[in-house]
């Protein structure tokens, strides 16, 4: 059972464009939704995260949009740069004392110069 579904599997964007990655979850107990960035040969690194009490969070060029009723959240990367080329994972957890994360399958983003 896949609790967090992520799309698309891969994404190619031109430099300066907007990258959009979507995730949907099933478990209504989830109350923390982070996005991780992973470069080849490296572990995931926390990029940005949101809790369900807000509908949007922005940090620099990265924005999370959250729709609680639809159980969906998305990552927008504005002014995408070649250095943003990486695999992005959405995740979810229940903050009941454990940081155990459920990950999506990942989106490989390629930003062409």
Partner 1 sequence: NAGVMQNPRHLVRRRGQEARLRCSPMKGHSHVYWYRQLPEEGLKFMVYLQKENIIDESGMPKERFSAEFPKEGPSILRIQQVVRGDSAAYFCASSPRRGAGNEKLFFGSGTQLSVL
Name the residues that contact partner 1, by CB under 8 A: 4, 6, 32, 34, 41-46, 49, 89, 91, 93, 95, 97-106
Q: Which is nearer to partner 1, 41 or 113 (CB)?
A: 41
Q: Which is nearer to partner 1, 14 or 98 (CB)?
A: 98
Q: What whole-number distance in Å separates Cα of residue 65 and Cα of residue 110?
A: 21
Q: Which is nearer to partner 1, 13 or 90 (CB)?
A: 90
Q: Which is nearer to partner 1, 97 or 113 (CB)?
A: 97
Least Å from the CB of residue 99 to partner 1: 5
Rounded to a whole number of angstroms, the CA Rg of the chain reads 13
Task: DSSP for 15-75, please give it.
Answer: TTS-EEEEEEE--TT--BEEEEEE-TTS--EEEEEE-TT-SEEEETTEEEEEETTTTEEEE
Phi, psi of 40 (to 5 degrees): -55, 135
Least Å from the CB of residue 70 to partner 1: 21
**Adjacent-strand bridge partners of 90:** 35
């Amino acid at each position: 059972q896949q609790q967090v579904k992520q799309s698309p599997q891969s994404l190619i964007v031109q430099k300066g464009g907007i990258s959009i990655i979507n995730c949907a979850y099933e478990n209504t107990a989830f109350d923390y939704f982070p996005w991780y960035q992973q470069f080849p040969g490296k572990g995931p690194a926390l990029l940005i995260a949101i809790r369900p009490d807000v509908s949007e969070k922005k940090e620099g060029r990265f924005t999370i949009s959250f729709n609680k009723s639809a159980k969906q959240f998305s990552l927008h990367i504005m002014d995408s740069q070649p250095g943003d080329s990486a695999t992005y994972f959405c995740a979810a957890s229940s903050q009941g004392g454990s940081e155990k994360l459920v990950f999506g399958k990942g989106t490989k983003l390629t930003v062409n110069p």
